[in-house]
Amino acid sequence: MNILITGGAGFIGSHLCRWFLNQGHRVVCVDNFITGSKDNVRALFEDANFRFIEHDISGPLEIKENIDQVLHFASLASPKFYIKYPIKTLKSGLLGTHNCLGLAKVKKAKFILASTSEIYGDPLVHPQTEEYWGNVNIAGPRGCYDESKRGAESLTYAYMREHNLDVRVARIFNTYGPYMRPDDGRVVSNFIVQALKQENLTVYGKGKQTRSFCYIDDLVEGISKLMESDYKLPVNLGTVFEFKVIELAELVLKLTNSASKIEFLPLPEDDPKQRKPDISKARKILNWQPSIFLEEGLKKTIEYFVKIINN
Ligand code: NAD
Ligand code: UDP
């Protein structure tokens, strides 16, 4: 198959490029490097089945070749970056998704949207099921990201209903692993890099807020299974093992043998207090659940950052 992956030079996108190339497919990777990096896909440039297009997906994209699947992963994804670039975030979620859906329609391709647990906002239902409609502060600092993805989901279902497009929506919960940026700003990369540099670990608030951290290999398998399935409605992908942020900090300190201290900083506005997916749907429909425990995934991620930081 010919597979188009937007955001392919980012963290998840670059893993998807490698996964689909390894399965014998051709990959067209589209990215504008706003947060992604050429280093994430540099090794793939030698592969004859890999093509790279530097392009901002907020503008229309014309592709001559046949495309069988469109994976739309381009977005600002870390609070650090989407709070800095709220307009670009909304543009890649709304205009970018519109462009990708239009392309999928012309090519008669299957389409998948990388949606997010953030569409549930600061959730009042726990764990979050796909049926929960969410609690988002539209005008708050995270609203640009949350609403860009909520709008992107609506656009996706509009194309399904009006144009009979074959669509999938993955609601991805916190995912981590190698190929994250060291300065990405998200909690796992922040804590590991800080611990390795013997700097203070910056815990926001009292660190009592929770997240459920999924290792990248599990997520990629989930996305691949969702693409293979016939299921068109949103599916949560993530792990059900929930940790307090302070517990994550302590685990990172232990695994890195670091002498760093924990520093408490103010909790950012609208930071969700708790997050854990209900993955009954993914279990039943995709026969999927994550298999990599946090400690194991963190060890692999630490190995990666040790190499990056020493380079
Ligand atoms: P990332 O920042 O590493 O990757 C995003 C990529 O998209 C980057 O390479 C960036 O340069 C590119 N990009 C952004 N705007 C673009 C544009 N307008 N045109 C072209 N390229 C553009 O982030 P990630 O964690 O790999 O996230 C990938 C996708 O998964 C995003 O859509 C994100 O919303 C979604 N997601 C990620 C997580 C997670 O925990 N990692 C959780 C939920 C959803
Ligand atoms: N966080 C933290 N210290 C950091 C970065 C993040 O305590 O250096 C917290 C953040 O406040 C949030 C959680 O870790 O409660 C996860 O943050 P992240 O930015 O990784 O993703 P989010 O789930 O909020 O989108």
pLDDT in tens, 255-292: 999 999 999 999 999 999 999 999 999 999 999 999 99
Residue 74 tokens read as: 């381009």
Mean pLDDT rounded to a whole number for the chain: 98
pLDDT in tens, 139-154: 999 999 999 999 999 9
Note the ligand closest to the C-alpha atom of 244: 2
Q: What is the largest CA-CA distance in the chain?
A: 58
C-alpha to C-alpha distance for 94 and 10, rounded to whole angstroms: 19
Average pLDDT over residues 46-61: 98
Tell me, what's the pLDDT at 38?
A: 97
Residue 187 CA, ligand 2 centroid: distance in Å: 5
DSSP H or E stretch at residue 28 = strand 26-31
Tell me, what's the pLDDT at 311?
A: 77
Sequence-ordered list of residues with C-beta below 8 angstroms from that of 192, at least 6 positions apart, any chain: 252, 256, 298, 301, 302, 305
What is the pairing mode between strands 210-212 and 214-215?
A: unpaired
Token match 């009042």: residue?
124
C-alpha to C-alpha distance for 36 and 43, rounded to whole angstroms: 15
Burial class, 250, CB count within 10 angstroms (exposed 0-12 / middle 13-18 / buried 19+): middle
Tell me, what's the pLDDT at 189?
A: 98
**Nearest-5° Cα angle at 40, 14 to 199:** 115
Q: Is the pLDDT of residue 23 over 90?
A: yes
Name every protein residue with a CB atom under 6 angstroms from any ligand 1 atom.
6-7, 9-13, 30-36, 56-58, 73-77, 92, 96, 114, 116, 172, 174-175
pLDDT bracket for residue 247 (50, 70, 90):
very high
Active site residue 159: no
Domains in the chain with CATH codes = 2-176+214-239+276-291 (3.40.50.720)
From start to end of 62-131, where are the E strands? 69-72, 110-116
Tell me, what's the pLDDT at 88?
A: 98
Give percent of the chain with pLDDT exceeding 90.
99
Name every protein residue with a CB atom under 6 angstroms from any ligand 2 atom.
78-79, 174, 186-187, 190, 202-204, 209, 211, 245, 268, 271
Token match 């692993």: residue?
177
Coil, helix or strand for 229?
coil
Residue 229 CA, ligand 1 centroid: distance in Å: 23
Q: Is the pLDDT of residue 188 over 80?
A: yes
Note the ligand closest to the C-alpha atom of 93: 1
Pick the catalytic residue from 120, 145, 159, 176.
145
Sequence-ordered list of residues with C-beta below 8 angstroms from that of 299, at least 6 positions apart, any chain: 255
Asked whether 112 and 170 are in contact (CB, 8 A), the reply is: yes
Average pLDDT over residues 57-80: 97
Residue nearest ligand 1's atom 29 by CA? 73
Tell me, what's the pLDDT at 240?
A: 97
Atom of ligand 1 nearest to the CA of 58: 18
Tell how far CA 47 is from the center of its chain: 25
Tell me, what's the pLDDT at 310?
A: 83
Q: What are phi and psi of 4, to 5 degrees?
A: -100, 125
Tell me, what's the pLDDT at 203?
A: 98
